[in-house]
Amino acid sequence: MKNVEKRIEELRDQIRHHDWRYYALSQPEISDKEYDDLLKELKELEAKHPELITLDSPTQRLTNVLQKGFKTVKHAVKMFSLDNAYSYDEIKNWDERVHKGLNSERSRRIEYVAELKIDGLSIALTYKKGILELGATRGDGETGENVTFNVRTIPAIPLKLLTDNPPQILEVRGEVYMPKQEFERLNKERKKQGENLFANPRNAASGSLKLLDTKITALRNLSCLIHSFGIIEGMKIERQYEFLNLAKKWSLRINPDFKLCKNLDEVFDFCKSYDLE
């Protein structure tokens, strides 16, 4: 029995490692077939020994839950909405307000992290001792909807962090979104079935995450990018750049298009490098 337990843990660790390589780093080390073989072996062993199944096992993403509704949960730290700027002058004015609000010493040490914004549905993920416990929508910022079962179906969201020393409690924020190719595939299917088409990928992602049938959510191939945190208990993180690199090590998927900028000119250079006009 000990050999079986050991093999199950080995398989889980291997699968988590390859999930991290694929989703967080975009650097897969094995083929899809090799990955599927690992998952198949794990499923077979767990089927023979159901007493060894744990909620954080890679086989437990889809729990075939037909929900009656979503309970309301209160965020431990308020989720604020992002403000917009539509010109470089607006960014300069914001930068001036930032400097004005700080003392001269801190003002001299300001750096910015520039990253691309993903247009999706805001999500808060809570991990306790490295295990995913809760997935909640932003809602009104103070309270959101508990969509944990649906969140668990998203392969880009790890059920267990890839670290031997996780924070006691970690709450991260991100965006659940639908890749464009999946959006096009879904609308093509809906058109064949005579169903109403989704207006855009954001609406499709939002509607998919709030479905009561987790099996349908799983078929929508949603993804997720983490951009910030609300709580990291027992660990002091003061810089956004530090958090993003730590999140990636923990197997949380972040937007690869981010840059540490020493000043506002570097922020503008980053923006211009993506300017399509």
Please choose, from the candidates 88, 87, 95, the residue with its C-alpha nearest in 3D space to the C-alpha of residue 112.
95
Q: Are 223 and 176 in contact (CB under 8 A)?
A: yes
The SS3 of residue 214 is helix
Does residue 97 form part of some domain? no
Does residue 195 form part of some domain? no
Give dist(CA 150, CA 216) in Å, integer: 9
Does residue 123 form part of some domain? no
Q: 22: domain range?
A: 1-60
Per-residue pLDDT of the chain in tens (277 residues, 90 and over written 9): 789 999 999 999 999 999 999 998 889 999 999 999 999 999 999 999 999 999 999 999 977 666 778 999 999 999 998 888 889 999 999 999 988 888 777 777 889 999 998 889 999 999 999 999 999 999 999 999 999 999 999 999 999 999 989 999 999 999 999 999 999 999 999 999 999 999 999 999 999 999 999 999 999 999 999 999 999 998 889 899 999 999 999 999 999 999 999 999 999 999 999 875 5
Does the annotation mark 117 as catalytic?
yes
Q: At 23, which CATH number?
A: 1.10.287.610
Does residue 51 form part of some domain? yes
Does residue 17 form part of some domain? yes
Does residue 66 form part of some domain? no
The number of folded domains in the chain is 1
Which one from 6, 78, 117, 188 is the annotated catalytic residue?
Answer: 117
pTM, 2 dp: 0.90
β-bridge partners, 114: 259
Neighbours of 168 (CB within 10 A): 13
